[in-house]
Amino acid sequence: MQQSPSRLIELDFFRGLVLLIIVVDHIGGSILSRVTLHAYALCDAAEVFVFLGGFATATAYAALAERRNETIARSRFLRRSLEIYRAFLVTAALMLLVSFVLSAFSIDGPNLATTDLDDLIDTPVAALRDILLLRRQPYLAAVLPMYAFFALLVPMVLPLARSKPWLLLAGSVALWAGAPAIDAYLPAAPDMHWDFNPFAWQLLFVLGVLARCQPVYQRISAHRLGWVVSVLAFAVVASAAYYKLLVEHEPLASSLKQNLSYLRAVNFLAIAWLVANLIELGWARKLAQWLPWVGLIGRKGLLCFIAGAVISLVVDSVLYAATDGYLNYPLGLLADAIAVGALCAVALGAEPLKRWVGRFVGTRLRTWP
């Protein structure tokens, strides 16, 4: 897994795949979401995305520090935190705007940010203040404050990951264990809460960083008993799938996701280990080469996340209105195709649009009197 400081096409591929899964998973009537990770595991795409975020961060930090220096690398990720905060504000505004427009057309989807919208209309100053202070996080914008928090940690986490990995891991586990108690101190408006407790979810981010900075997988898999770990990982994945498919069909309690329960973390790590075996066999690279557009979505991660939030909210609401909330296979598949196609269009059109805007603005500036 740790092969080159240059960009890894497997990493871009998995990040793009996860963004696509996140979009369909937030469409209630989606047919594709019936076969995505959450359908047969105790975890879902969120764990994958956070872990890959840590892995990608360590990759980018190492490349920047090598090309320039450590100081520039640290300052870059401090600026990145501000960029993610701005992205949160944009996503929150879009969630409110889309909810307003859909409600105006009497399309009352189950996930519209109506509570935030009502509060914004009734007490606009207080609602805007709460959003700016992260006390209020409209639907699907909630993951971004956690990522802004992670970006702030990067200048401290990355040096420790390289020089004192066991100290970093011990600190991360201790913080994760105490996260439910710390949750009460996170800023939140009345009757609001953080969907993702960053003090808990930092564990997966740190594990992603460690996987990139330390040859953990290579050392364990190369050991003569390395196959035992693969057998145990397969047993965990199979047991979780059996439980989800044949025992418990209802969604797990939301608090288990909010505070990253050990059940979710262990299930994800088992899946990650098995996927790492497939990566070593070269399957992920072949898939990435066959499906380059998925990797493009991964490279445009922040943009595609924002676009995906809008796409899933619109498609979910329209599909819900069209089917009265009942599962409809033809319309569900059509909704999946529209959502996936729209996200691909965003990724494919981002660079051409940026170049066009640059030429347009440049021309206007040159011809300005």
The answer as to whether 2 is a domain residue is no
Instruction: Give pLDDT, residue 358.
Output: 58
Orientation angle between helical segments 45-67 and 9-25, nearest 10 degrees: 150
- Going from the C-alpha of 105 to that of each of 138, 140, 235, the distances in angstroms are 20, 21, 50
- 8-state DSSP, 336: H
* Mean per-residue pLDDT over the chain, rounded: 91
* Nearest of 10, 29, 71, 7 to residue 320 by alpha carbon: 29
Residue 38 falls inside a structural domain: yes
Closest CA to 29 of 305, 363, 271, 337: 337
Rounded Cα distance between 22 and 49, Å, is 9
pLDDT of residue 1: 39
Residue 3 falls inside a structural domain? no
Which residue ranges of the chain lie beneath pLDDT 70?
1-7, 356-369
Does residue 183 lie in a domain region? Answer: yes
DSSP string, 2-70: ---SSPPHHHHHHHHHHHHHHHHHT-TT-SGGGGSGGGTSSS-HHHHHHHHHHHHHHHHHHHHHHHS-H
What pTM, to 2 d.p., does this model score? 0.92
In a domain, 255, yes or no: yes
For 112, the domain range is 9-367
Residue 4 lies in a domain: no
Q: Which tokens in the block code for residue 222?
A: 């190369």
DSSP-assigned letter for residue 248: -
Cα–Cα distance measured from residue 332 to residue 316, given in angstroms and rounded to the nearest whole number: 10
- Please tell me the predicted confidence (pLDDT) of residue 7: 61
1 inside domain:
no
Our CA angle for 249, 252, 130, nearest 5°, is: 140
Domain count, the chain: 1
- Residue 339 resides in a domain: yes
pLDDT of residue 355: 73
pLDDT of residue 350: 84
User: pLDDT, tens digit, for every residue of 68-93?
Assistant: 888 888 888 889 999 999 999 999 99
